[in-house]
Structures are given as structure tokens and as C-alpha cells.
Structure 1
Amino acid sequence: MNATPSLPDPTATVLEAQQQRALTLILRISLLGLTALILARLVSGGAMTPRSLPGTISMSLLWLSIVASWALLRRGHFSGSAFLFVMSVLALGAYDSWGYGMVRSNGILVMFAGIVAGGTFLSLRALIAVVAIGLALIGALAYAEVAGLMPSPITIISLTTWLSFPLILVITALGVYHTRQIAIQALAQATDDLARRKHVEDKLSRSEARFSKGFHFVPVAMVISRLRDGKYLEVNEAQTQVLGYTREELLASSSADGNVWPTPQDRERYVAALRQTGRISAYDVRFRSKSGGLTDCRIWAEVIEIDDEECVLACTINITEQKQREAMLLDIARGVSGQTGKAFFRSLVTHLGHAIQANVVMVGEISDNAALTVHSLAMMVDGEIAANITYDLAGTPCATALHGPQLCKYQDDVDRLFPTDVFLSEGGFKAYMGVSLRDADGTPVGILNAMWRQPLAPSADRDALIQIFASRCNAELTRLRRDRQIQDLHDALEQRVKDRTAQLESLNAELESFAYSVSHDLKTPLTTINGFTHLLQRRLADRLGEDEQRLFQRVLLGTARMEQITTDILALSRVSRSELKPTDVNLSLIAAQIMEAERQRHPQRQVQVQIEPDVTVRCDLPWARIVLENLIGNAWKYSQHTPQAHIAFGALPRSADGPTVLFVRDNGAGFNMAHADKLFKPFHRLHGVNDFEGNGVGLATVHRILERHGGAIWCEAAEGQGATFYFSFDGPRPVAATAT
């Protein structure tokens, strides 16, 4: 449909080239000929005679004129060069005829050759001017001859004459020959151009025929219209199906009339987009159909040129159904977005039922592994959420749907195909669709189905919609079942923890009761033994020897140690029973009090004490004092053999989210870290009783107190180099904690 673009005329180009070559050749021959004539006159000695001098001068002037023409031609002035050459030849002919004294001389031939050259090289206007000048010169010469104004005629034929005639004939022949060649080549070129043009026109005609066939028989709606006013130039049959207008109605109208575009602004935006890039792809618009309704369309268009007019070739597809599907999907997606569990299923059956116009939509879960019954999770009946039901699968279309992952469809007579299904028969349902919901291993776990009271026509959109939301429903049911399993495991674990906690509490209570009973029951006999031993020692003091005194002392030490053990056991049992009352406690003050008490008990010792001021933590004050009494007491005890003992209390720099880590450090006896795991167990000691007194309950008590607070205790030590005990009341042991 595109117009053939104008091309430069190749004949004119070839003619100009031929003329330039011919003029160049003639100028060269003329220069050579004139040079030969002038030299011949000079050699013959007659060039300067009164009779021959005018001819010699005229030839010299002509030679100069031809040189000037040559110079103009070299500079690209073809017309000026040709005109100067032709006028020079005419002037030479006229001058030669005058010199011979008659018109019937070779000068006339020279003028004739000039006219031939003018016809070959000059334009029409220049040729007319040259012919007029030539006729005027011949007329003037004829008049001069009749009136006797010309000199007497020369009858002797000289060498110059013999040389002039061949030169004139050669120049004339060359002019005629080149004229003929130019005509022949121009004719051949024109014939070739005509053949090529016909070939191009044939190809264009065939291309237009193919385009016309493709345009009119393609199933896609196509239209050609003018860009400026929207006038329809051509439409195909498919275009008439989009909006309902006939081909004749469209060709007689324009898209700018207001019948097709809902508003003028819609067409203006479309035209602006086309003008901006020259084409548009997948441009969504709405057109007004012949019935008056709006139709969603998608356009591919490109600007083309027909007869120097901007036009538009556009392809249009009707996407109304696609838009409806998208709206349907969005409606359901918006309805179920942000919902999970049973609320999701209720929302899904409501929106899906509305979208596919079903009377019943249900999501059900298989109740047992045998897949004999289904319990509905959500059910919509006639647009309303209905109560959940449980029904047997035997003899129902749901049983068929569960056999495979594909969509199960009965578009009519489903009640006749499954006569034992009471739900179908009582509800009067004629059509059924169902999809099984499966676990990750492919096991059926549920079903999504829909039912209609009228037969169904085939619909790929409806089938796809049910399968899409069956997939989403499958994912939600799988998640729901996993959450249920996790909750069951959590409940079982929680119950086991409760049972285990109750057992431990019972055992702890029994152990504490046993420890309390043992400690309490042992105190009375120990007190009795200790009292009577002291009484016997006093009464028999005068009669006892050193061995007897040593034996009495050992009994007293044993009873004292036993009494201390029972006291420590009672204290340890009270740790588990007592209620914690945490407050903000300044541990630095308590540590200072304990250090001072130790100094008073051991006034003979020189110990360097270092206490970091204002170390405050949240803990139970009485139990915090017991912790510090045990740790500082141990530091004081295990550094008693160190000449320059040093004991320090403080806190490590606290991290942003970590607990407050405290420490008690000494430079006493220390211990082997290989046995550190025994430190905090009751009655376990790393040193002998003879080396350091104690019963191994103090650190166990500290450990239990800190655990009750939610804290921890650990240590670092080396034999002979002292020990550092780290502890916290408000958190577990950090990954790395070292005293500075």
C-alpha cells in the first residue's frame, strides 16, 4: 500500500557524462588541429603576409578561446565551456568567410560545425540563441557580398585550406557520432529503466495482492486509517466482529467521530503515543461497540505512509473475556488475602461460588486414613455459608475425584450417574466438578468441589479457575494440617514437661524433707554427744593422759564437723524452698562487710583487699550475702598459706545485651582445672581436710542460689596461682568472659 518513492533520472546522468566526454575530446582535437594550422602557416612563411595575417590572427584567437573553454570545463562549468566553444567556432567561420571574400567558402562549413556542436552540447535556449546568431552572421555576410563590401575572393586553395576542411569534417563527424551514441545509450538506459520499473511495479502489485489477502483473511482484526482524522481506509472482516459494525459502516465513518472512542481525550492519548515513537505495542483501550457497550481491546499499531499521507496500520484483539477473568481472579484473591485457616476457606468458597455461579462450593478434609468420610471445612450453599457436614464418600462423585489429581467433571446428569448420593438427589444437582487436595507425598487429604442445579456448558476459564484455587486451597490445607500436627506435638511435649516437672517437684520435696529430717534428727544426738563429751573431759581432766585428751578432742572435732554438715544441708535445702524477693543490691557494701568480718576472725593475717565500688545488681539480699560469704570466705581460706595474699571483688565490663558478670579473685592455692566439674557438687572437695577445713557444701549452695536467680557460676584457676570465680544473677554464662 506504500507509494513508490521518486528516484533520480539515470538517463540525464548518463547524458551529462557523455556530453562531457564528447566536449573534452572535441576540445583536445580542436587544440591539436589549430596548433597544427598555426604551425603550418608559420612554417610556410605565409602567416605574416597581408593576405594571410587576418587568418592567422583569427586562428590564434580561436586557440585562446578553446584554451579558455578547456579551463572552464576543468572547473566544472560545462554549460559555459560549451557556449564559449560554439560561439568561438561561429566567429571563426564568419571571419573566415569574410576573409575569403564570399559566403560560399569553408567558413560556412565551420559555422555549420558550430551549430552541430551547439545542438549537441547546449540547452534549448542557448541553442536557439546560437542559431539566431549564426543566421544573422550568414545574412550579414550575404548582404556584404551582394553589396560588394567584401574583399575580392581568393580562388587559390592553400595548405591551410586543405588542413581546415579535414579538421572541420572530423569535428562534425565526432559531434554527430557522439550525438548518436548519446541517443542510443539514452534509449537503452530508458528501456532498462522501463523494464526495471515494470519489474518493481509487478513486485509491488504481487506484494499488494499478498498483503490484501493476508489483510482480509487473517483472523486478527486489522484496519488502516488516516492518522490526522481517523478516517477508515480499509478494514478486514475480523474487524467487524470486534465492535459489531459492518465493513461499509466503518469505511463510511471515522474513529474521530465519537462513535468508537469513549471520549476524545482517549483518542488524543492514542495518537500522541503513536506520534512519539511511530508504533505502539499491547496498548490497552476501551472501544464503544455498535450496541453501546464498552469493549476491552488491545492494539498493536504502526504509522505508515500512503500517497504521502500519514496513516495507521492497526491490529486489534478483543480482551473483554481476559479482563473479566482477571477481575474474577482479583476479586477472589482480594477476598482471601490476609486470611488463613478456616476463615480462608469460608472466604474462598463464597468468592469462588460467586465467580463460577455455583449453587454449592465446599472444601472438605478426609477424616481418616481409609478415606471413607469427608468433613467439610467450609461450605457455601446458594450464596450463604452453611453449617459444616460429614458424609461418606462411597457412591459419590467425590470418591471419583479423589482417585486422581485431575479435575473431575460431570456437566449433566450427575444425580443419575450416582443415584445413591442423597445429597445430589435431594438438592436436585445436575452438574459437578471436583479436585482432590493432596499432601506432599501425593496422599489425598481433602477435596474442593462445586455443584450446579442446571447442566453446564464447557468453559476452559471455569476449569482453570477451579484448578488454580484448588492449588491455593491445597497449600492452605497442608499448612493447617502441619500446624495441627505441630500443636499436637507441642501439647504432648507440654504435658510431658508438666508430668516430668511434677515428678521432679515430688522428688525434690521428698529429698528436701529427707534432708531436713536427717539434719534435724541428727542435731539432738550430736548435741548430746558433744555435751557429755565436754562433761567427761572436765570431770576426768586430772586423770586423763595426753592420748586420752587427744581422743576426746577428736570426738569433739567430729561432732562439730557433723553439726556443721547438718547445718549446711539445712541451708542447701532451704535454697530450693524459699521465695526469692529480688531488689537492687549494692554488692560492694556487702563484700566490704564480709572482708572486715574475716579480718576480725584472722587478725594475724595481712591480706590486700580490692573492692570495686558501687557494683549493684538485682537479686535477693539474704541469698546474695550467702553467695559472697561463701566465695570470699573460700578466697580467704585458700590464700592463708600465701605470704602476700590478695583478694579482689568486682564486675566485668557489661555488654549491651549480656548479664552483669561478677568475680571474686585470689592468689591462693588454686586447683587443677581438670577437676573443675566437681566443684559445685555437694560434698565434693579438691583439697584434703587436713590442708583446708570445709565440707564441700558451700559452692553447691552458691550454685543453687545463682540458678534460682537465673544466673550461673564458673571458674578459672591454676595450681599455686590462685582462682577466679565468675558469677551472675541475671543471665547465663556469656560466650567469653575474662577478668581484667
Structure 2
Amino acid sequence: MTYASSNLKKRVLILNSYHKGYTYSDRSMEGIESVLKTEVQNIILYIEYMDTKRIFTKEYFQQLYGIYKLKYSNQKIDLIICSDNYAFEFLLKYHNDLFVHTPIVFCGIEVFDGNFLSPTDAERITGVIEKCDTEKTIDIALKLHPKSRHIVVISDSSSSGMIFAQELKQKIIPKFRGLTRFSFWNNLTMEELLKKVEKLSDGSIILLWGFVKDKSGTIFNPKESTILITEASGVPVYCNYEGHLNYGVVGGMLMNPFFDGKAAAEIALRVLHGEKIKSIPVQRGANRYMFNYEQLKRWGIKLSDLPENSIVINQPYSFFKEHKKLTFGVALFIIFQTLIIIVLVVNRLRRRQAEEALLDSEERYHGIFDSATDSFVIFDLNGFIVEANPQACEMYGYSYDNLIGLSSKDIIHSDYCYFFEQFKRDVLSEGKFYAESVDVRKDGAAFNVEVKGAGFNYKGDLCLLAVIRDITERKKAEAAIYESKIKLQVLYDSSSDAIMLLDKKGFFDCNKAALRLFGCTTKEEFCSRHPADFSPQAQPDGIDSMTYASNNIIFALKEGSARFEHLHRRLDNGTDFPAQVLLDKMVLNGKEVLQARVFDITERRKVEKELEEYQMHLEKLVNARTRELEAANKELEAFSYSVSHDLRAPLRSMDGFSQLILKKYADKLDAQGKDYLARIKNASLHMAQLIEDMLQLARVTRKEIKRERIDLSRLAQDLIVEFQQTDQERRVEVNIQPRVIAVGDKELLRVVLQNLLENAWKFSKNNPAAYIEFGTKQVKEEKQYFVCDNGVGFDVKYRDKLFGVFQRLHSESEFPGTGVGLATVERIIRKHGGCVWAESELGKGAVFYFTLAKF
């Protein structure tokens, strides 16, 4: 059975993504209501605004879910119309919990792919896609301004704004490559945006998507932001949305939320009439070329240059249009006079019919009763029912024949046996009656009623007319409200927080915790005191306590809340205690009052003092430790100096004498002797290199970082050139990402790149098609720098040993080295607040990553 053939009204929920007063939401609602108003007698509307232009966090959507679950858990919603992306995405996530099996009709959705819906959802969801035709707007803008070569796209960071920008970059801009260039302005404050708009030169065009929330979080309605932008602009402004057109915009191929909302409401009526939603395909919104005549005139654009069937607003009126009000006024006057004549004729006919109807009073009474929505019952003076309308029969559960003739005692609850006599007495003495009572249906069920009464002449006899309304639901609601008030009062009284209510005259209520905190015994004692009585004369900083408290009260009444600390005093023993005070403005019985919550922070102050003393103690310990470290560093420097001079001298002697022996006594040595001397020479050189690497590691550990902007790409390029000059026979393909900029110590970061690139050069020597790359990649909000090669690689199970001192994964004979380089890299990166790691596979090369802290 459809709702058209049912006595039950259908409940329709309209879920708006944004807030009332936001142009898009208002226009969409106008379109929806223009259709649904034709069925107002069959539909109960519920309208919700999610306000996601102002807030759209995950926690906020969870709170909305809780609110809607509370509001609609006992309501059966027959259909939902949702407007724009946030509402649609919210329903996709929660509708199986909140509105199970309820069909959904959407409008204002930029992107919709039915393939991503579950089979169940696909049978319950359809609607109207809002598809902006930006390509046609850009095309007509360039045709109307043929000298323009720069289009500035202005949007915000909302989901719809990001979808628009992404689609523009991927699908539309390539079609205009070579014709114009594009700039995107979307992460600015309004002040920054307007300054950039003012500086735009001739040959530019602004394409305005919408600017509702700027970088600082300030919210603007579409009218306000559009006016600010167009007034600051010295170049034409085009848009995709009809709501911007009348505020300084030239025009374009515009979306119209009114027509989209209207189309969605028409689909909703088809579903409510019984049509299966899966048989109704998703529709596309109808866009139109629309222009503002005032802006066309400003930019010298002729109406003949516009596309055919374009809509132009603000055009100058013709002679007829100039006098349209007068013309319509005359026409309306003539129509009005004609209607008056018709009404007079109709009234004359009706009066004649009424006069004839007076001859049969029974028909007249039934005509009145049948059209009434309340229950009408006529009693004679003895309390018997002599007439009733169909609503009364339905309410009491009797047929008309069975209800007529019953006594008032048959339908009035026994606890209210006096009711009819009171009813009759008041009507006969005062001419009217009003009271509440409890009546009984035929099945014995009791229900609350509201009764209004008056005297009535029925068939020549004086009777009593009772207009009776079932108020059971209202009574339940009143009981629920009363119960809620009791619960709130219990929470208020039992709260461990000291809570007080005050107005401009002073305190007028408090809870038990407030009495305990301030040393009072009764509310009367507390409320009789002036707020100044609960404070010493002055605060610790010398400010007068009354002045300080009054200033905060005035601030809270103006701004809605205030948070401050105040020194209070107990009345019973006069002791002072520090407290945190929270003031919040609220409306109570139509009057603005303040709720004050006071928290004793004596313990917190004590802990803060202890923490402060402990911090001073730690600072002393740190200073002492710093002095110890400075002394240790001086000793380490002395040791390093000793190593660099005392150990190198014997090694130079070993190397020098080995060379002399090989040179002067080569003919006296056999092959084995020469080999022994070569080994001694190589060992001394290796030891010298090891000492140099260890000294460098020590210098890295001690060196203070001097941060500056560094072009790592240039450093890497210089190092590769050095390797190529040293090893000219090597052929290595090198790819260095340009303009890799970092902030750090230039000398230390050069050491990092030298070690990593030198390892890549060394371990790829056996690959005839050697490849080395330096670059960056972005992982979420972190920039990662990397050096990769296609050399021998290493087994990842040994990766933890890579950055230890003297740790090697390859033999000295195959790949010479000291095992100190990567340890040095790790120390430098750690000093820069970053981390370093490696990935590899044997025989397939290695990748070394590192990060740097942001400054």
C-alpha cells in the first residue's frame, strides 16, 4: 500500500551537509520544498543541518551519529533526501545502523560510482549528480576574453573544493595546454588572498569555485567571500555556481542547486508512491549558461557574443518592464474586481444553500462535526450522549449507534466521577469550561484528555458541547521533561564540583559541594553573602578582589565564558585557598545568568612548587654534568691530538723504510721477502686510514652543528665528479635529483653523502651496467633522502650490524675499507635529529635512507 492510499503520513528526513543560511543549502531546500509542499498533507518532514562547513572532524561525525541515534531510534523514517557529499558519506557509513532499509535519494554529489555500493545499498540509493561543467566555463571565458593567457583558480580545502581542484588538474587543464596557464590559490588567509587578487594584471581571469574557510580557520558565507574577491579584483571573475552570480561575477556554465533539489524531491515522491528505487537511474543535474548583465557591460561583452539560450540577470528593463508594476497592478485590480463579483455570487448561492440547510439541522450538525479534527460530543443536561462526530467514535472505540445514548459515566474514568457535574456547572454559570481529565475507551484503556466546553442549542434543547482532545502523548512528554529536570537537579546537588548560579545581583543558588568548599551550612546563608565575602580584600598580586571578580563576570556575560584563578576564603575558619574559576553564560527562565564552577587547586599549586624545585635541582645536575662533559671533551681532544701525531709517526717510518728496502735491496730479496715487505707497507697504510677514520668519527661526535640551507644535489654532483676523476675507466650511470634542499651542517652532511655515494661506487664496481641514484621521496609528512645502487647488496638479516664501528659484511680483499664510514653517517644523522636505515637484497643492490629534523 502506498502512502497515497494509507491513512498514515510518511516521515521524510532531509539531511543537509551544511548550515541554514549557507546559499547552497538554502537553494537546495527551496527546490526540495517546492515539490514536497504539494504533498504536505501526506508527509511529515524532519530537517537536519550537519554544519560541516564549520566543523568536519572524525569526533564531530561520531557525536552527530550519537545525536541522530538518540533522536530517531524510535522514529521510523520512510525516506531520506541528503544534500551534498558530507551528508551522503555520513549515511553510507551509518545508515545501516541509524536508518536500516530506508531508501536514500541524494543531490549535490560531485562524484558517484554505483560499482562501489554493496548490492543491498544499490537497491536503496539513487539521486541527482551535481556535475560542474568547468571546461565549458573556461572555454566561454577565453572566447569572451581572447587576450587572456592566465587563469587563477580560487578554492578552499573542503572535500568538494579538493575534488574540484584534482579533477581540474587531471582532466581539464591538459585540454587547454598551450592556450593558457593555470595557478591554484587555495591555502591562504582571506587577507593574503585579497592582496594577491589586487596584484593580478590584465590578461588574467579568476575562476572562483568557492572560499568558505581560509587558512586561519575563519568561516565566510559564499556571498561575503564572493563580494570581497570581486571587489578586490581588477580582472574578470567566472564561477561554476549560480549562487555567486549576483555578487560581481561575469558568469559561466553554472550549477543550480534549486533544480537539483527539485529533481531529487520528484524522485523521492516516485519512491513514496511505490516505485522501486532500483528502477530509477541516477540523473545528472541540469547546468545552464548564466551571466550578469552589469559585469558583461563592465568588460565590454556583447549579448550577441553569448551562447544561444543563455540566461542574463540584471538586464535593463524595456518600457513595458519599467511600468510592469503599474500594468500588473491594473490587471490585478480588474482580476480582483472580477473575483469580488464571483465571490459575491458564490456567497449569495451559499447563503441560499445555508438557508435551505437550516431546515434540516441534523445534516448541518453532521457537516460541521465531520470536518472537525477534534472529537465533538454533545451531552444533554442529564449526562447522556445525544450526538458525536466520527473522530469521537474512533477515539472511544465505539460505532456511532453504540456511542449515542451512553452516559458520561461510561466514558469518564471512575476516579473522575465528579467531572461531568463540574463541567455542567461551569458551562451553565460561566458559559464556558476547560479542564483535563482521564477517559476510558470501549476496551477499558484509560487515556488523558483535554476538554473544552460550551452551551449548545441542539434540536431546540439546551445541551452541552464538549470538544475533546487526546493528550496522552503530551502528558508522556511532560512527564519525561519533569523526570529529566529531577535527574539534572540530582546531578547538580550530588556533583563533587562546587557549582553556583549568579546574576547581576549576586548568588541565587548553589550545590552541596559549594557549601562544603566555602564553609557554609545552608543555601540561604551562602546566597545572602556578597561574592566579595568569599575572598580576601586583595589578590596576591595586589589587585582588589572585588574589582578582579567583577571584571571577569562582565567579561563572561559579554563573551559567553571566562576562565581565571582567584584566591578565595572560607567563611567558617577564614583560611584562604587558591581556586580555578570557570564562568559560563546560560539562559534560565528567559534570563541571562552565570554558572560558576570553582575548583580548589591547593594540591595542584603544591605539586607545581615541588616540580619547580625539582626542575631547579635537575638544572644544577645538568650544569654539573655539562662541566664534566666539557672536561672529558678536552681530554678527548688531547688524546686525539696524541693519536694523530704520536701514532702516525711510526706508521710513516714503517711505510718509508719498507719502500727503501724494496728499492735498494730488491735484488737481494726473494719473492717471499718482497711479499712480506708489501704486506707491511699495506698494513701501515690501512692502519693510517683507520686512525684517520676514527679521528673523523671523534670529530663528528664533538662538532657543534651550524645549520644553514644546503643544496645536497650540488654536493652529490661534486662528489661524483671526484670519483670519476679518480677512477676514469669506470662507466657508471648516475641520476641526481635536482634542487634537493636541506637544513643542516654543510660539512657534516657532505661527509654523509661522501660515505654513502663512495659505498655505492665501490660495491657496484663488478656490475658493467652500474647505476647510482640520489633523491628524495615524500612519505606522509616526512621527507626521506636516499642513495641507491645496483651493486652486490647485502643480506638483510645483518642490517643491524651495518652502522656499528668496525662492522663489515664483505671481505677486505674484495671491497677494501675500515668499517667506520657508516658508523660516522649514523652519528651525523642522529646529531641532526634524524634516522638512517637500509634496504637490500643480495645481488640486487642496496638503498640507504636518511631523514633530517625540520627547522
Q: Above 0.5 in TM-score?
A: no
Q: Which structure dedicates a bigger proportion of its chain to helix?
A: 1
Length-normalised TM-score, structure 1: 0.37
Q: Under a length normalisation based on structure 2, what TM-score does the superposition of the two structures give?
A: 0.32
Larger-gyration structure (1/2): 1
